Structure 1
Amino acid sequence: MVSQKDALDVLEENAASIRKLIGNQKFALCLTDCPAFDDVADTRVYGFSCQVRFAVACGFLTEKEGQKMVTALENDLADIKQEASERSAR
């Protein structure tokens, strides 16, 4: 049986993986210039949000907690992209 802690750990690991994927690209020019990269990031965030909705449906998270996780990930990715954009403008 999966515990609430196990479910939350998996979600946090998945979010960290997405942050790392995007963060590792911040030195690559394609992060700010490549629409395909944005599509990949959007797809990963969408998949994460589906996992969060599933965790909410299972009762592991409240709607508010789930939304907070998704919003935090989206905000972190926006910050990474902004930093990369500023760096490439220099």
Structure 2
Amino acid sequence: MKQAVSKKDALAILQESADSIRQLIGNQKYALCLTDCPAFDDVADTRIYGFSCQVQFAVSCGLLTNDEGEQMVTTLENDLEMIKQEAVDRSAQ
């Protein structure tokens, strides 16, 4: 049984995964003090690593270019950094 996955399908799946990570981390800024919690960085790093493995798999399958994959990971890293900075700014007030 052979199934083909389109680039559009792969991008949708990866985007859903990235959105899930953003939501998970974003929700934590209301439940935890992210600036003082080393567990936040561990969770974020673990989730980014897992996401980067998914992206690398899509690149290896030819569903994404290396540049597209790197851009997806970089965007997620930047988004999580912005969430963390919002928490830092909020705790400083």
State whether structure 2 residue 62 is matched by structure 1 residue 66.
no
Identical counterparts, % of pairs:
74
Alignment of 1:1-90 (within 5 A): 1=3, 2-90=5-93
CA drift at 1:29:
3.4
Say which SS state the counterpart of residue 31 (structure 2) adopts.
coil
CA distance in 1, matches of 2:78, 2:67: 16
Task: Give the whole-Å Cα distance in 2 for the aligned partners of 1:18 and 1:36.
Answer: 15
For residue 26 of structure 1, give the secondary structure of its aligned residue in structure 2.
helix
Give the count of matched residue pairs.
90
Identify unmatched segments of 5+ residues in structure 2: none
Which TM-score applies when normalising by structure 1? 0.94
What's the Cα RMSD here?
0.9
Instruction: Report the 3-state secondary structure (helix = DSSP H, G, I; strand = E; otherwise coil) of the residue aligned with 1:7.
Output: helix
Which secondary structure state, in structure 2, belongs to the residue aligned with residue 61 of structure 1?
Answer: coil
The answer to whether the 8 A contact 2:33-2:87 is kept is no
Runs of 4 or more consecutive aligned structure 1 residues displaced over 6 Å after TM superposition: none
Unaligned runs of 5+ in 1: none
